[in-house]
Structure 1
Amino acid sequence: MQNVLIVGAGSGGTIILNLLLNLNFMNVKAIVDKDEQAPGLHFARKMGIKHGSDWKPFLTEDIQIVFDVTGDKSVVKELMESIPAHTLLIPGTVANLLVGLLNENDRFIRRIQTEMDRQRLIFNSIDEGMIGIDRDGIIDFINESACKMLEVSDFNAIGKSIFDIIPESKLVRVLQSGKAEVNDELILPNGLEIISSRYPLISADGDTFGAFAVFKDISEVVKLAEEIIDLKSVKTMLEAIIHSSDDAISVVDENGNGVLVNPAYTRITGLSEDEVIGKPATVDINEGESIHMKVLKTKKPIRGVNMRIGEDNRDVIVNVAPIIVNRQMKGSIGVIHDITEMRSLMRELDLARQTIRKLESTYTFADIHGSSPDIDLAIDQARIAAKSDIPVLLRGEAGSGKELFANAIHSESSRKSYNFIRVNCGAIDPSAMEKELFGESGRYDSNKPIKPGLFEEAVSGSIFLDEVTDLPLTVQVRLLSYLKQRMLQMNTSEPVRIIAATSKNLEKAIHEGTFHTELYYALTRITIQIPPLRTRKSDIPEVVNHLLTKVNQEFGMNVETISDEAMNKLQQYDWPGNVRELENVLSRAMIYIEPASTIIKAEDIKKSLFTNEMKTSEEILPEKSTLASVMDDYERSVLEKALDEHNGNKSLTANRLGISLRSLYYKLEKYKLI
């Protein structure tokens, strides 16, 4: 290790300092310069190297080399007079020459390294394995492909005898003979079959100093050759597989004409081979376009296409792939899965689930259908509400699904294993409302025990107060007291979770004095607005598909779908009765469809829409009629039709018209309909 002192910290001194720091045999003891702002001094401070403005204190006996890069002759003279006899003084001219040589050497080494890296990259990128030995048979290079085939790492291979890695190697023989050997088959120790070519490495003066081999895995080639030899038996086996498959298989040529079908295809479509072979690919299609023709055009596989084919209009899923030989389209093959029975079973399963839920009186968020932003927001809010015990208020028009939301909130809450009790506040006699909800107070009597209320029945569970605005004020005060105390007067283990709903304008009811202000604030801590169907018409197709399953079960029918024209008609209607009205329209449409038909058509919907039943041809306004009398006549006709629609059931009629049962009775008495 040579100790070095650098005198002069300008650009030259800085360069020498950088170079010497990269040399293991040089140790820079210090660097000095009269200019305290010299770049070399700044660098020395960062690196923790001693530095100063005078070289004399640093010129000690352990300094072997002094670099003078000041360019000042007087400094050189003074240094020569002061340095010890064993110390070498290198003046600036020599130092600059040394710097140039070192830089040139560094550039040369980097060029060599770059070229070696490039060659190594190429060497490791080829698929063929390459391995080389020196004159002693020791491996001195091996590429990645060879390592993979030999199942060794280059670290474990290089430096080993070739016979340690490949016992049957013939590289040493090539080294000794100096003659190349090409296309020789060999089996590696791991059983891999390769074909190898071996070459001697000969210098310019004719001296053989090593040998290398290039080899390729031919296991797959050998296997393919064996299969080709027995091509006839393979063809027979494939035909047997195709014909024994339960899935229908059809093959067409590059022009789209049938060339092969199996028995399953004939069974599903009802078409014989003679009706398909040589015929266009569209011969079996009842609904949709030919997937074979699309694949032939795009040269890309198409999977999971729903179609109807054959004489029985079977529901199938079709997967079609191109047949490409030597980069040329030769046809396509289609595999057809019959899902008619599967869909029927899925419908039955869905119906069974709905029946179970109906019997349990519980629904989940999975039963709320739609993906529009409005309904998604309402569902997200309801999911959040389900995680707490805070009272929830559901607001929305009649028939929009408030009860469904209430059920879903209960089903996803921690109270789901307890009772969920629905109370139609408008259907209970106001005079008996308080007893119905909170029970009959008083002491036990041997002949007449206290009657428990619905709140006690729902203990630890949830109670759904539908149309909460119909509660009498006295009951509202009692409910407010319960909410404040969070406990019943009866001895209960845990207070009931309250979910309220209304289709009325609560703010207007407060203004009119029919709804308690404090109760309003107690119930509206979590308020969820359920959107009407007319604001989310994009959800109608999804809702219709769900309702079809439900109505099929109720009517014992098998209606599978609704025509596009009929769906358009449903989406054009504004649905004042919301989802409930949509369900009623679909129920009536099933009555109008043709026998054995599985599709609801536009004319069926037209007959079923409630508004169409109401529409008549333009009429002349009767003489001496006032607006009030015309409105009364119209309201009476609506009530009559709604009662008729629900076979006189008052509760269903009230729900259909979006009014309370008490209001319905008032109107029926007004128009003498009871």
Structure 2
Amino acid sequence: MQNVLIVGAGSGGTKILNLLLNLDLMHVMAIVDIDGQAPGLHIAEKRGVPHGSDWNIHLTEKVDIVFDLTGKPEVFKELRKKVPSHTLLIPGSVANLLVDLLDEKDQFIHKIQAERDRQRLIFNSIDEGMIGVNREGQIDFINESACKMLEVSDSYALGRPIYDIIPTSKLMRVLHSGKAELNDELILPNGLEIVSSRYPLNSTTEEPFGAFAVFKNVTEVVKLAEEITDLKSVKTMLEAIIHSSDDAISVVDEKGNGVLVNPAYTRITGLSEDEVIGKPASVDINQGESIHMKVLTTGKPVRGVNMRIGEDNRDVIVNVAPIIVDQQVKGSIGVIHDITEMRNLMKQLDWARQIIRKLESTYTFSDIHGQSGDISLAIDQGKIAAKSDIPVMLRGEPGTGKELFANAIHSGSSRKGNKFIRVNCSAIDIATMEKELFGETDDSDTHKGGILEEVGEGTLFLDEVTDLSMTVQSKLLSYLQNGTAYSDVSVPGVNKARIIVASSKNLEKAIHDGTFNTDLYYHLNRLSIQIPPLRTRKADIPEVVKHLLVKLNQEFGMNVETLTADAMLRLQQYEWPGNVRELENVLSRAMIYMKTGSVMIDGEDINRSLFTNEVKAVEYVLPEKSTLASVMDDYEKSVLEKALEEHDGNKSLTASRLGISLRSLYYKMEKFKLI
């Protein structure tokens, strides 16, 4: 072992120190430098190497080599004078050259090692087995795939004769012949079937020095072939399904060129496969943009788009979705519905609905939506009413759903198997209303039946009952009390119909004005249900909207899923003078105003629907719910509230101030729920 003294602990000295510390044949006796902060001194301190500032102390007979790395000629001259004769003095230039050569050697070795590791990684990562032999037939390389198929380890196989591992190997034949053999089937000792290709290894002088084989498990190849066969079968099946569909279907690739259409597409557009396949997606469009291209650009589906396509310029609705493979858009598929056929079906459906609703009640309490206290109370009262046969009075503003409640009461009653007939009392001429309801008897005593007889044991719903004449009201009262509409004639089959009435007007005001029969009022008011306006139960609007969208989607053939938060907030801020009926109209208009392909109603759609010219006119002239009686009631209630407030709730003073009796004051307070 050589003892070394390093003079100079700068960058050069530090390099030499690090190099020598890693060599077993060198022992660093000390490293010195007049600069106490030199980096080499810090390393020496950490590694336990003697160090200091004076080299004279450490220069002894035991030192075999001295490295001068100070870069100062005077230090080198002084060292030459004092080093022992047997000691080798190496100047800094030589030492640095030595370090550079060693660094270059290390880099070269590291590079070779990295390249070898990279090649070995590639060699072991391929699925095919690889095995090679030298000139003597001994295995000199084998990869992991080959080891797995041969069920041996590389440490066991390397250096062994090839026939010990693969007795039927033909590598030696290839080595001697110098000719490659391709795609030869072979059975390994463990029974595994493989397909092998063998190649000779020749030197630059064309002399063989070995051979190697590349082989693959035939089972995997067969499996892959079966998968390809299955894919072809699936493709054939999918094409059969597409071609048998009555909906027109078109498929384009990622560039937007047609790759597949079905016969229904040709029938609707009038374009054959030759006119579409390989052509841009816009070839069939007469009006509007290509939805295929939009989907390919965004990667998102587009539904419910109205377009005109084909030679006949037919109106269609198009739904297009992207075809995504490995998270990449590889094309899109479009389904086209002919609106003409859909419209015919919708008309037939509407007609069927009208017939059904004329024959029977179609609504139940499950069709009334809301969780607020007022609507829940009204529903509970309606369910109680359904269990009895007494008359029911439904009260509420226009559009609150009085007819819906009447339907639900009928559907929940024992009469649900019989007719439900609605009569709008304000829509029938007063002169003919009596005959319409009760029928008539001519001079020959022949009785012609009216609506009551037609209802039979069903339910008769009289909407806006306050519009009946006093004469008809009297006969209706007689019918309810005695089962007869006339004092001397009994109407066949009467006294069996259930009577439900409704009014959006103030019945008490009508009694006061002498336009409504007091006895009839008390007979009808035995079970009165107040249906709350929408503005008092705005928390129910999201639920009501959800169910209205289902209905409107069916009617319009659209696929609107929901409303944005902004749109819903706008609905809940509005006062809804027209109640649920107005809400349905607003949603209908919003769906018409929606952007093509959108599935959500946004705030802008709602704003346009609320502030059409028609709505503005209603808002600024008179709310939809208002009648003269309701406006007067609202004003009368506000006057009462103000008078009571001015007199600190004193009833006598308030009655005196308003010029009415104390009894009248109590009646009005009860009427307007001020007690």
Normalising by the residue count of structure 2, what TM-score does the alignment of the two structures yield? 0.43
Structure with bigger gyration radius: 2
Normalising by the residue count of structure 1, what TM-score does the alignment of the two structures yield? 0.43
